[in-house]
Structure 1
Amino acid sequence: MDYDAFVIGTGVAGSSVAYKLRNSGMKVAVADKEKYGGTCAFHGCVPKKILTGAAEIIDACNRMEGKGTKCHEKLEWPAIIDFKEDIVNSLTGTKEKAFRDAGIDTYHGKVSFHDRNTLAVDGKLISARYIIAAVGSRPKTIGIPGADYLTTSDGFLDLEELPERIIFAGGGYISFEFAHIAARAGADVTIIHRGEDILKNFDPDLVNILADASEKAGIRIHTGKELARIEKSNDSLVITVYDGKSQSDVIYECDMIVHGLGRVAAIDGLEPEKGNVDIEKGGIAVNEYLQSVSNPAVYAAGDCILPGPALTPTASLQANVVVSNILEGNKNTADYREIASAVFTIPALAAVGIAEKQTTERHTVIFNDMSRFYSSRRTNLGHAASKVIIEKDTGKVVGAHLIGPDAEDTINLFALAISAGLTAEQVRKAMYAYPASSYDVRYMVK
């Protein structure tokens, strides 16, 4: 074999696997068909949070208008995009050199399977004892007339100028996060969603609070609307959707429609059949050890497989599982119950552990309307609430759902509590800094 391990993809999962296997003494190589860094660095978490941070500043300033603050009423789009590019490039520019400095060989170009242990890397055949697929995801292909007019999330994050009228198709993470950014940049924003339930992986009561906050920010949310056709008309786009309620077509007009209709594994061109790597529901089929069900030489991690939510912490967890199973034999599995997730809207929505719909008579659900809490009032933020789920017999915290100031940070305290098996009483008695937003956890658990 040319290598002990060959990693396809240089995002969160691929990078972690490569470094850890190299540190164990293995001969390792990595390859990427694009710039080194993966989706999170270039078109996901990192740039999105930069834009969200700027939008939060604008929003907070506008909320406090007349209460001691005065600022620009909207984001200056070209400037914030330039700022984003500077940060992203500073984080990724040295990534390839860092691999080489660690003794990891680097390759560029298309990668595909040649046989069970061999890859074609930019036309060159390279063999490895283990092949780790960490190729991430891409926007789902939408089979409607005019689908080519859809702007991907990648394209939105690289816009040099923001159009005046934007429709976000889909009611998930991407649409809501980008809609909140675009609204604070002065765009006229609409979200259309095929079903009735937006952000379906989050608590519906808290989602309703976010929907109200979104609409008060000028974001229109239209549910029961299935995208049917996109057409170009002069300088505008004409969007035809099927309204399930009226059972008729509805027409929208905009300058841009952004694809928020889901993502799928980026396995195009990987030719998995040549490596005897089975594909299931569009992703690499793996067993509980994240090993290919059909080729034991192949492991996979990140968004290109089905288990677990498509989140950066999930990719990190799966990378650790893959490494331990390669080095020690298949012993470890991934537990996704303790992974916190957040929608970086204004305010943020966050969750960890079990949901209310999963509770039984063995659980207590504690709800708090936090809109009148000091942490919300001090910045004039009128939308905040919490739900904490506690096991009756043990008193342990097993779930938490938050919306409000710093929810994306406070949820990590609950993630730690669930991971450590802490009781609500232990969480309540801890001495937190006051008056930080996280101090409110004392009240959320009683």
Structure 2
Amino acid sequence: MSYDFDLFVIGGGSGGIATARRAAEYGAKVGLAEMGRLGGTCVNKGCIPKKLMVYTSHFPHLFEESQGYGWSPVKSTLDWTKMITSVQNEVTRLNGIYQKMLDNSKVEIYRNYGKLIDSHTIEVGDKKVTADKILIAVGGHPVKPDIPGIEHTIISDNMFELPAQPKRLVVWGGGYIGVEFACIMQSLGSEVIQIIRQDKILKGFDEDLRSTIQEAMEKHGIRILSQCTITAIEKTSEGLKLSLQGQETTDMVLADTIGLAATGRKPNLDNLGLENAGVDVKNGAIAVDKYSCTSQPNIYAVGDCTDRINLTPVAINEGRAIADSEYGGKPRIMSHENVPSAVFSTPEAATVGLTEAEAIAQYGENAIKVYRSKFRPMYYILPAKDEKTLMKLVVHQETDRILGAHMVGDHAAEIIQGVAIAVKMGAKKADFDATVGIHPSSAEEFVTMR
């Protein structure tokens, strides 16, 4: 049977674009449907604009710390409008780059929603197109709890559009998004309260990492209300009045006119027509196998809509693996083991491999040896600041293989990226011990821990 396209991609985020371009490079005829801005969550409302705000938030600390090195005090104020405008301008620039890349790859772009009519037919606006294979890469979106007054809160997407900096901000949620924005806004001068349902932030991360970041956040002035939730929100002349339940059971005025609800995300599956094509959904996400193939042999799905590891580089790698396998004659599987990740909090954190708890659960407590170091980096000695760096290795004693590496401290993401290569290759603790450290640096601690 003849089709309009060899591959049709529904979703123009990082995963969808990467797959479309790679397949087109191999000679496939590719179409792509995207109603919104190209680049998806990461480029438009996620990691890129957020990291730019993280950079912005570091300057007050640098101004203060410079005095320990002999610089005179710096008096500077943030122009919020200029910062937000600069961030949005960069997002717009990246949108143009994605458009140019797709044009150069000769990918045909449809500026509308794509909906499955059957396993080979997609409705895009008022048109219907057919494809031999289909990729679903529609991402996810933030969700808010259903409580009275929730309309007075914003989601993380809106943080890049605020017309003015809030003086008082409540962040509801202890995941990495909530933690990052709490740190950003506190460093920029806002009074921040973070409300979390667990006893600690960052559920699922290593316990030492969670504790170290939370202690630092509280020391920096962020008030964290743990084992607590919001049951209702009321807008008053003084600000938002929050009804709290848990360890804090009271009514409090905690914010100006907004609060950030960072309480989770879910896949964008509404009106996608999955049922028309017989694509199975499990636990609210598209069910796929290790090849990213759905219940239909010609339909694939990657990224957040599959709710596996919701990271942009993972979606890109999943998609490229499909293109390499189907069109490049290079069959491969995207491995979801030892995927590094980072939390751009203050202090920063990064991790790869198993947490201590996961390693113990998998191998038994007696089979695991933990190497841990916590110290004040040299940089903070002259400014006389009590900032701590944590480094941790989780090792399987029988094989000496490093199962996990975790860090909290400056440049953690940059350091763990290199460590992740070693962990991915199956490095042993003896390999780290045999590596000469770069002195003086914080990173050398990873090869000197005993």
Give the TM-score normalised by the residue count of structure 2: 0.92
Q: 1:374 aligns with which of 367, 373, 378?
A: 378
* 1:297 Cα offset (Å): 2.0
Is 1:434 the counterpart of 2:439? The answer is: yes
How many Å separate the matches in 2 of 1:2 and 1:163?
Answer: 51
Q: SS at the partner of 1:229?
A: strand
* 1:157 Cα offset (Å): 1.7
Deviations along 1:391-438, one digit per CA (max 9) or x if unpaired, are 223322221111112111111122011112222232233345433432
* CA distance 1:443–1:71, shift in 2 (3 Å): farther
How many Å separate the matches in 2 of 1:288 and 1:101?
Answer: 31
Letter in 2 for 1:12: S
Contact 1:62 1:73 in 2 (8 A): no
Aligned pairs for 1:132-211 (under 5 A) are 132-211=135-214
How many Å separate the matches in 2 of 1:287 and 1:254?
Answer: 45
Per the alignment, residue 120 of structure 2 pairs with: 117
Identity of aligned residues (%): 29
How many Å separate the matches in 2 of 1:67 and 1:97?
Answer: 46
Per the alignment, residue 296 of structure 1 pairs with: 297
Deviations along 1:101-121, one digit per CA (max 9) or x if unpaired, are 211101112221111111111
Aligned pairs for 1:293-372 (under 5 A) are 293=295, 295-307=296-308, 309-327=309-327, 332-359=332-359, 360=364, 361-371=366-376
Q: SS at the partner of 1:388?
A: strand
How many Å separate the matches in 2 of 1:364 and 1:170?
Answer: 32
How many Å separate the matches in 2 of 1:228 and 1:325?
Answer: 49
Per the alignment, residue 401 of structure 1 pairs with: 406
Note the residue ranges of structure 1 that are not aligned, 5 or more in a row. none
How many Å separate the matches in 1 of 2:151 and 2:330?
Answer: 43
What root-mean-square deviation, in Å, do the aligned CA atoms of Structure 1 and Structure 2 show? 2.2
Q: 1:107 aligns with which of 106, 110, 127?
A: 110
Deviations along 1:267-303, one digit per CA (max 9) or x if unpaired, are 222122122222221111112221112x222101011
Contact 2:141 2:266 in 1 (8 A): yes
* 1:179 Cα offset (Å): 0.9
* 1:328 Cα offset (Å): 7.5
Q: SS at the partner of 1:289?
A: coil
How many Å separate the matches in 2 of 1:220 and 1:330?
Answer: 52
Per the alignment, residue 229 of structure 1 pairs with: 232
* CA distance 1:378–1:288, shift in 2 (3 Å): farther
Farther off after superposition, 227-236 or 69-78: 69-78
Contact 1:226 1:241 in 2 (8 A): yes
Per the alignment, residue 97 of structure 1 pairs with: 100
* 1:54 Cα offset (Å): 1.8
* 1:185 Cα offset (Å): 1.5
* 1:61 Cα offset (Å): 2.5
Per the alignment, residue 15 of structure 1 pairs with: 17
Deviations along 1:332-386, one digit per CA (max 9) or x if unpaired, are 4432221111110111011111110123322211011122x43554664512111
* 1:189 Cα offset (Å): 0.4
* CA distance 1:326–1:241, shift in 2 (3 Å): farther
* 1:224 Cα offset (Å): 1.3
Per the alignment, residue 390 of structure 2 pairs with: 385
* CA distance 1:329–1:240, shift in 2 (3 Å): farther
Q: SS at the partner of 2:303?
A: coil
Q: SS at the partner of 1:382?
A: coil
Give the TM-score normalised by the residue count of structure 1: 0.92
Aligned residues: 440
Q: SS at the partner of 1:227?
A: strand
How many Å separate the matches in 1 of 2:27 and 2:123?
Answer: 24
Contact 1:289 1:325 in 2 (8 A): no
Q: SS at the partner of 2:12?
A: coil
How many Å separate the matches in 2 of 1:49 and 1:239?
Answer: 29
Letter in 2 for 1:6: F
Q: Give every structure 1 segment of 4 or more consecutive aligned residues whose post-TM-superposition deviation is greater than 6 Å.
A: 328-331
* 1:83 Cα offset (Å): 2.3
How many Å separate the matches in 2 of 1:252 and 1:223?
Answer: 17
* 1:218 Cα offset (Å): 1.4
How many Å separate the matches in 2 of 1:405 and 1:80?
Answer: 23
How many Å separate the matches in 1 of 2:144 and 2:282?
Answer: 17
Q: SS at the partner of 2:322?
A: helix
Farther off after superposition, 312-321 or 110-119: 312-321
* CA distance 1:88–1:430, shift in 2 (3 Å): farther
Contact 1:227 1:239 in 2 (8 A): yes
Per the alignment, residue 33 of structure 2 pairs with: 31
Letter in 2 for 1:206: L
How many Å separate the matches in 1 of 2:68 and 2:440?
Answer: 23
Aligned pairs for 1:215-226 (under 5 A) are 215-226=218-229
Deviations along 1:240-288, one digit per CA (max 9) or x if unpaired, are 2222x46x44434312111210111112221221222222211111122
Q: SS at the partner of 1:239?
A: strand
How many Å separate the matches in 1 of 2:233 and 2:145?
Answer: 11
Q: 1:414 aligns with which of 414, 419, 424?
A: 419
* CA distance 1:233–1:341, shift in 2 (3 Å): same
